[in-house]
Chains A and B, each alone.
Chain A
Amino acid sequence: MKPFRMLARSIRDAFKSVKRNFSLSLASVSCITITLIIVAIAIIASFNVQNFTKEIEKDLTVVAFLNNDATEEDVLNVENALKNIKNVDTYTFQSKIEVKEQMQQESEIFNAVLDTWEDNESPLKDTFQIKVKEVEEIGTTAEQIKNIDKVSVVRYGEGMVDKMISAFTSIKKVTIVVVVALIIVTVFLIINTIKLTIDNRKREIGIMRVVGASNITIKTPFVIEGMILGLLGSIIPVIFTTYGYLAFYQHFDGYLYSELIQLIEPEPFIYNASIIVVAIGILVGMVGSASAVRKYLKI
C-alpha cells in the first residue's frame, strides 16, 4: 500500500510542478526538442550509412577459376577445401558449360564465337562464386583460396574493393562517435536546464529533508518530472523524424546520387527511429533531473 501511495503522490507532484513552473518547464522542453532533432538527424544518417555499406558489402563476391584440365574429382576437392576456410560463407559452382550458356544468352557475338568450340576444347574455366562472412578479411581469404590445388586465378576486384572497405569502416566508426557525442552533449544541456528548475525549489527540498523525507521520496517526483519533460521534448523531434524522412525518401526515390547508395525503406525504420528518439528523451530527462537534484540531498 505505502509504496503505491508514495508513487501516486510522486506522479501527481511531478505533473503539478511541470504546470506550476511553466516557463522553466518550457525552457527545458525546448532545449530537449532542439537537441533531440539534431540527435534524430544523426541517428537517421548513421543508420543509413550502416545500411548502404552493408548492402554494398553483401554484393562483394570472390570468383575462383579452376584449371582447364580440372576433373569432376578436382572440383569436389576444391569444394571440400572451401568448406574448411572459416571466412567462407556461401559459394555456388558454375561449370564451364553453364558459363558458356550464360555468355551465349548475354550477347550475340559471344554466341557466334562460342558456338565454334566443342565442349572439350573450350577455353572457359569452371568457377566458384564465393561470399565471405567478414569483408574486412576478403584479401586474406582470397589468398587462401588461391592456394587450393587446381585453382588458377582468384578475383575479387582488389584495389578498389580494399579501398572501399577501409573507407566504409572509418565512416561507420565516425557516425557512431558523432551520435554518441551528440547524446552526451544533450545530456549536459538538459542537466543544466533542469538544474535551473530545481534551483528554484531548493527551499522545498530543504523542508522535505527537515521533516524526514527519505532521499528517494524527494528524488522520485523530480525524476518523474524529468521523464515528463523528456517525453514532451521528444514530440516535435518524432514528428520531424517521421515526416521529414518520408519526404526525404520520396523526394530522392529511395536513392541518393546513384543506385549504389540505397536509403532505408521508411517503414518500419521511422517507427524504430522514433522509439529510439523518445527513449533517449525520457532517459536523458531522467538522468538530468536525478543528477541535478543530487546536489541538494547532501545536507
Chain B
Amino acid sequence: MDLIRIKNVEKKYKNGVTAIYDLNLAIEKGAFVFVIGGSGSGKSTLIKMLYREEKPTKGQIIVGGLDVAKLRNRKVYRLRRKLGIVFQNFRLLEKQTVYENVAFALEVIGAPKDEIREKVLKALEDVGLKNKLHNYPDQLSGGEQQRVAIARAIVNDPKLLLCDEPTGNLDPERSMEIMKVLDDINKSRGTTIIMATHDKDIVDKMKKQVITLKDGHLVNFKQKGTYNNEAI
C-alpha cells in the first residue's frame, strides 16, 4: 500500500524560481527511499512539502490519507504528529537534557507522564543513547546529537520519518552510524524513511530505493539504486 502519493505537483517560489516540475510519485509503506540530486535539484523542497513547511503551487500530495496541500495552517499539527523530522542541524533545545529534548515531543501533544517515560526510554535505547539521559546537547558529539534528534522524531511512533541531509554535518564514520540507526528503525519499527542526501558512499552502500531529481524534474526512481553522477 502507498503511504505517500504525489500527483502533478509543481512548486514555484514567490521569487519566481520553480523548484519542482510536474512530479508524480508513490512511496510504499515501510520503504527506505533516498532522494538525491545536486544543489537546487529540489530535494529539500520535496521533503519540505511532505511535512507542509512549503505548499505545492499545483497538484496533490497525500501523506497517510491526509491531503497535505489542502491542510490549513491551524491543522498542520495533525500531519506533524504522523511523522518525524530530522534536520541537518539537529535543532535540539540547548538548555534541556537529552531526556527532556525527546520528552518534549510527547509533552506538547499532551501525553501522560508514565507513557512519556516509557516511550522516551525506548526511543533512546533504539538510538543507543540510554546512558546519556541527563547530558545536555553541548556535552555530546555531533553524531550523538543527531541520534537524540532521531529519538525525538521516532518517539511518537510515526509512520513516516523524513530526513533532510541528516549526515550533512558529520564525518563518514559517524554518518554510517546514523545510517545504521535509521536502517534499524526502518526494519524493527517498520517506519517508512525518506532521506534527502548528496552523500554518494551512503547511497551506494545502503542499496535502497533511490529517487533522482535534477533541476526540479524526476530523472528516475530505482529499486536498489546507486548514486549516478551522470544523471545529476
- Please give the residue numbers on chain A whose beta carbons come within 8 Å of chain B beta carbons, in ascending order: 1-3, 5-6, 9, 20, 203-204, 206-215, 217-218, 297-299
Chain B residues, CB < 8 A from A297 = 73
Chain B residues, CB < 8 A from A2 = 110
Stretch at the interface among B15-23, B75-83, B167-175, B203-211: B75-83
Contact call B112/A211, Cβ cutoff below 8 A: no
5 contacts between A and B (CB under 8 A): A203-B93, A210-B91, A211-B80, A212-B108, A213-B77
Chain A residues, CB < 8 A from B110 = 2-3, 5-6, 217
B108 to chain A, nearest CB (A): 4
Known contacts A9-B107, A217-B110; A212 and B156 CB within 8 A of each other: yes
Chain A residues, CB < 8 A from B108 = 208, 211-213, 217-218
Residue-wise, chain B 87-123 has the 8 Å CB interface mask toward A (1 for contact) of 0000101010000000011011110100000000000
Bound together, the chains give a CA A215 to CA B74 distance in angstroms of 6
A253 to chain B, nearest CB (A): 57
Contact call B95/A212, Cβ cutoff below 8 A: no
Contact call A209/B80, Cβ cutoff below 8 A: yes
A48 to chain B, nearest CB (A): 46
Bound together, the chains give a CA A266 to CA B152 distance in angstroms of 59
Bound together, the chains give a CA A6 to CA B112 distance in angstroms of 10
- Does B148 interact with chain A (Cβ within 8 Å)? no
Chain B, residue nearest A213 (CB):
B108
Known contacts A214-B77, A215-B77, A299-B53; A207 and B156 CB within 8 A of each other: no
Instruction: Pick from B51, B74, B104, B109: contact of A207, CB below 8 A.
Output: B104
Chain A residues, CB < 8 A from B51 = 210
Instruction: Pick from A3, A207, A215: contact of B93, CB below 8 A.
Output: A207
Interface residues in B151-193 (C-beta closer than 8 Å to A)? 152, 156
6 pairs of A and B residues whose beta carbons are closest in the complex: A213-B108, A212-B80, A212-B81, A211-B105, A214-B77, A2-B110
Q: In this complex, which of B78, B91, B152, B156 has the most chain A Cβ atoms within 10 angstroms of its Cβ?
A: B91
B109 to chain A, nearest CB (A): 6
- Does B35 interact with chain A (Cβ within 8 Å)? no
Contact call A210/B85, Cβ cutoff below 8 A: yes
Chain B residues, CB < 8 A from A212 = 77-78, 80-81, 105, 108-109, 156
Contact call B80/A20, Cβ cutoff below 8 A: no
A20 to chain B, nearest CB (A): 7
